[in-house]
Amino acid sequence: MTQQTQGMSRRGLGRLALGLGGALALPAIRPGFAQGAPIKVGVLHSLSGTMAISETALRDTVLMMIEWANSQGGLLGRKLEPVVVDPASNWPLFAEKARELLAVSKVDVTYGCWTSVSRKSVLPVFEELNGLLFYPVQYEGEEQSRNVFYTGAAPNQQAIPAVEYLMGKDGGEAKRIALLGTDYVYPRTTNRILRAYLNSKGIADADIMEEYTPFGHSDWQGIVSSVKRFAGEGKRTAIVSTINGDANVPFYRELGNQGIKAEDIPCVAFSVGEEELAGIDTKPLVGHLAAWNYFMSVPGKPNDDFKAMWRAYIKNDRRVTNDPMEATYTGFRMWMQAVTKAGTTSVDKVREAMYGQKLMTPCGYEETMGTNHHLSKPVMIGEVQDNGQFNIVYKTPTAIPAENWSPYIPENKNRRG
């Protein structure tokens, strides 16, 4: 099999789908393929470079969903065909590959990007050519495009609840916060929002440390030492990490090297999940935190079905599921529902059909797509376990609508999504 068709046979996927029942049931689709052109699905994820550690699994998730859909007869009776490109963690190359997908390959929909700088790079291309992008990762908000559906978390669905948790009794009642991030738009904008939020809660700028490092940064000894000194000035301290990509491996290793334990200085991460922890000795990290909208350890049939689907496709029990994979799955399912409702893959008609789409997702909550192009999502906080999984210590009772324009940014005062 080629890379694009890696995985189980159509017959095997069909058997799996029948066994999974209602949790993975699609809208009615005609069996077999019509005599029409295939529906092309673009995959715009880094398969090399610093972000490959995170994005390769999202490529695999899209390919899994395409094979599964084809095992059920395709969509509108037509076969789905993946078109995979590698923008190689190169932000200008993302724009070139996006144009290639839309103008040359003529894809009907694209799933892609991880970093906000890659999304910002491709956004003008999708708007110019009226393409449709599903973006599956938590981000800083402050954006709303008619050509993008954002299936990851906005700040009020991840960053702010995580800091609230750190400041509360269960999180250790932190009075000082070290904001550590990769140097690009997502960490800087998220931390601008968090600084304003912390100020509103009575935490002064003197009790907020803020440091940024380049993509792929590997020498964390000095910064981690600075955090220890910052924490040694008499107030309970916590780390909020917006570090992205493979820089997380040496960062967490250095936390362990310097003996920073969760009970002393808890670290909550917004871009570290099961996939990133798979390459780290997690024993020194037990008790440190991550804030997401899904964890592989979520109990319940929707997640059991999702994990079974993944295991059957990838044929490797060591490969984990994570939040952006679940957001990719959710976006794909909602797009299929919208195409079925619209009766076409036309971007303008699918866009309208997307509004109000609902899905019971693997995180165990029903999520709804809003007219602001963002999903309602639950908030979950998990503690790292020594097996690389997370023990969920907090979750919201319902899915929360996204605030893509943060009220903590003054220029958003009269802005609505």
Cα 125 to Cα 184: distance, rounded to the nearest angstrom = 20
CA dihedral 49, 53, 56, 60 (to 10 degrees): 170
Question: pTM of the full predicted structure?
Answer: 0.90
Query: Strand runs (DSSP E) across 104-160, as ranges?
Result: 109-112, 133-135, 148-150
Report which of 208, 203, 202, 248 is spatially closest to residue 227, judged by C-alpha positions.
Answer: 208
> CA–CA separation, 223 vs 339, rounded Å?
49
Nearest-angstrom CA–CA distance, 203 and 191: 14
Give the whole-angstrom CA distance, residue 223 versus residue 227: 6
Structure tokens belonging to residue 135? 């973006």
CA dihedral 315, 386, 50, 153 (to 10 degrees): 90
CB 90 within 8 A of CB 121: no
CATH of domain 156-297+381-412: 3.40.50.2300
Largest CA distance in the chain: 71
pLDDT, one tens digit per residue, over 229-248 is 999 998 999 999 999 999 99
Amino acid found at 68: W
Q: List every span in the chain annotated with CATH 3.40.50.2300.
A: 3-153+299-376, 156-297+381-412
Cα–Cα distance list, 35 to 32, 162, 268, 411 (Å): 10, 51, 51, 52
**pLDDT at residue 266, as a whole number:** 97
Instruction: Tell me the Cα Rg of the chain.
Output: 21
Task: CATH number for 3-153+299-376: choose from 3.20.20.70, 3.40.50.970, 3.40.50.2300, 3.40.50.300.
Answer: 3.40.50.2300
pLDDT (0 to 100) of residue 416? 64
Sign of CA dihedral 44, 5, 153, 400: positive
CB 163 within 8 A of CB 198: yes
| pLDDT value of position 33 | 72
- List, in sequence order, every beta strand (DSSP E) within 74-135: 80-85, 109-112, 133-135
- What does each of the 417 residues of the chain score in pLDDT, given as a tens digit? 344 434 344 444 544 544 444 445 444 444 467 668 999 999 999 999 999 999 999 999 999 999 999 999 999 999 999 999 999 999 999 999 999 999 999 999 999 999 999 999 999 999 999 999 999 999 999 999 999 999 999 999 999 999 999 999 999 999 999 999 999 999 999 999 999 999 999 999 999 999 999 999 999 999 999 999 999 998 999 999 999 999 999 999 999 999 999 999 999 999 999 988 887 889 889 999 999 999 999 999 999 999 999 999 999 988 999 999 999 999 999 999 999 999 999 999 999 999 999 999 999 999 999 999 999 999 999 999 999 999 999 999 999 999 999 999 999 987 765
